[in-house]
A and B are shown apart, each in its own frame.
Chain A
Amino acid sequence: QTDDKINSEPKIKKLEPVLLPGEIVVNEVNFVRKCIATDTSQYDLWGKLICSNFKISFITDDPMPLQKFHYKNLLLGEHDVPLTCIEQIVTVNDHKRKQKVLGPNQKLKFNPTELIIYCKDFRVVRFRFDESGPESAKKVCLAIAHYSQPTDLQLLFAFEYVGKKYHNSVSSINGMSSGAGGAAGGGAASGSSQKTPLFESYSDWDREIKRTGASSWRVCSVNEGYMIATCLPEYFVVPSSLADQDLKIFSHSFVGRRMPLWCWSHSNGSALVRMALIKDVLQQRKIDQRICNAITKSHPQRSDVHKSDLDKTLPNIQDVQAAFVKLKHLCVNEPFEETEEKWLSSLESTRWLEYIRTFLKHSAELVYILERKHLSVILQEEEGRDLSCVVASLIQVMLDPHFRTITGFQSLIQKEWVMTGYQFLDRCNHLKRSEKESPLFLLFLDATWQLLEQYPAAFEFSETYLAVLHDSTRISLFGTFLFNSPHQRVKQSTEFAISKNIQLGDEKGLKFPSVWDWSLQFTAKDRTLFHNPLYIGKSTPCVQNGSVKSFKRTKKSYSSTLRGMPPSLKNGVISDPEFLPRRNSLILKLKPEPPEQAESQNSGVEQYFRDWFSTPVDLHGVILPRLSGIHIKLWKLCYFRWVPEAQISSGGAITAFHKASVLVDEVDVLSRMLRQHRGGPLPACFSETDQSRMYFQASGPHAASGTPDFLSSTFPFSPVGSLCRRSISGTPFSKFLSGARIWLSTETLANED
């Protein structure tokens, strides 16, 4: 490996890490070479590798080669990896041809010449220690292994960070500085003044009841102080006919005391409810009956309740995890060229897309029950806090356009994931106790991406937003994705506060920063990349018959376009959307429902789907996923962004996104000018500030001069900093590791040290 010394002598310079409050450097090593994704090592960077209690950081003076844009996370340098994002640590000594996967508190019997970090977000980062002190290299490796695999939740950096903030605030003023309280909205990011409701309070739930028009449902506070169940929120919504006293009694019969929780109500009165299994066999029928009756009573038509047993219809969390591991291997691990040949069959055999499809399909079928059959739906699952989160969220994204806005989507995640006790700590495996890991949240984001891909004008947010949101689950700074339940936050942080002498006053636990306070991670400019330029919001202006109107739709406007010439079937293809009646039109609704007859439910669903797909989409109504094989795609931005070989330079969907953004910006500018001429009121979508909503602007430095050079299919991410798997000093990477599969299982290598 000596021929690698292409670069000049390692620089001797003081390189200082950028640290957050409460962050401390645990160990560091100088003269480290970071390998860069090119064929040669000529672009490799020299610098210092540090391990802190929050991240590993590579500090260098060398500029990042081959990268012409900056999309920077304010919490992390471009070479940094948060400790909670680390999946596996492999140390190598290539002279002795030894390697070892480092667990916590393990010994290392050789001095590593190389450190390879496999990240949960599919990055692979590689450092070489040819010029560094062998002992300090070893120490850093061990420190990384130790600190990335903490034994206790309170050792996660967020505690240290928030503790420091409290201390600082006491010494300065009473109250928190930035990031205080979770209620920081998508405000600055979304251009709307709305804040994301966190559903920690009574009033958030109450507002949601009113927003959906759910009569006969009430907010219940029996769980205040987590008196009934520690995995439920303090406030939740139940049928009005169920008294607190009954709920208290029933709660004992449910797994985890998780009684029925209302999620959402359709405008037709059908409700979406989730609940755990009733474990008490003797009471089962009785309680079940009581619950169903109560839900029926809360339905304006007193309709029956449809129950969906998710454990029986969907893959379980282990299945999903297994699929994800296979997907990860396929996307990251295997030598690129080897996977090319059988790419499609390999991809199919991961079953990832199949599972995405299954979740989407099942959710769409329940949309049919709620929307067409006017029945309330109960999602039933053993504990009711895994598959239910995905299905409840997808149903609401499909049915309610509010959840397709940024603020709405964030409130949905608060409502169906964070507050309802999705076990982020275990499922994200922040503490590396791998048996409970499962990427259900990613599965939900991926399924949402499928809908965004199919209905690009129906969502306020972009795919970058979804990818960045996923990345945020790997940063152990936000309280949002750190805990198994809201109660765990309160309990653990109260303990922590006591141990650190922090005065909580009347606050319930420490207030961790919320992930929805995007200003902690991105500048205002960078946050504009979350905005989908194609989105048609409620008040987005549009041109109709040559005159500009806003998209405000009343029921009246539906009927105006109802009848027209019958469309013809051309070449056996039925498609003439313009002449078809609008979905949700009055006339459709006035027509008698098709007689149910002996028609099996399946054909009813299919009929519903066929009807829906044969009429034009109302982007402010229901959207249903297309489910055939060709319509469920791999989310390339998310899974390929760190693979240099898969990067399309100056190409990818982002180039069209760029064009659309510039155009939207132009339209905004023109609209503002028109307004100034007229002195008229502002359309709601424009903020008072003159700051553009769009990342790419008409008058910016790249104005009208074509596609900027730095765009590529991975934008705003760059695979340059990730490891090149093509070859290392001419040796294919897989062979370099003696043919061992990367992502080595710990057992395989346990006895190799």
Chain B
Amino acid sequence: MAKDGILTCYGGMSHVTSCFSREIFLTAENMADEHARKWDRCLADTAVKTVTGLGVGIVVSFIAFKRRAWPLSFGSGLGLGMGYSNCQHDLRSPYLIHGRMVKDQ
């Protein structure tokens, strides 16, 4: 929790209030907190992924592609996209309906 709190504090500026609200309503059942946390997580994740992608791109570009620029952007884009997708999934998760297929055999 504290770790999350610190990460999100370093996170987006639009979540200052959520940071504050997190500090006050420090309960697991707090949906607003969850939302904020989600966002924090999302952003953190995205950032990490992007940076990781960038790093991999750099490495790949260094290693395989003779220090070209496109692996960096590719990797960062990759990371960003993964993050974005993750974020979206995370934010969507309450609405996702998990169905089961019932084979009628």
A and B: real partners?
no
Interface residue ranges, B against A (CB under 8 Å): none
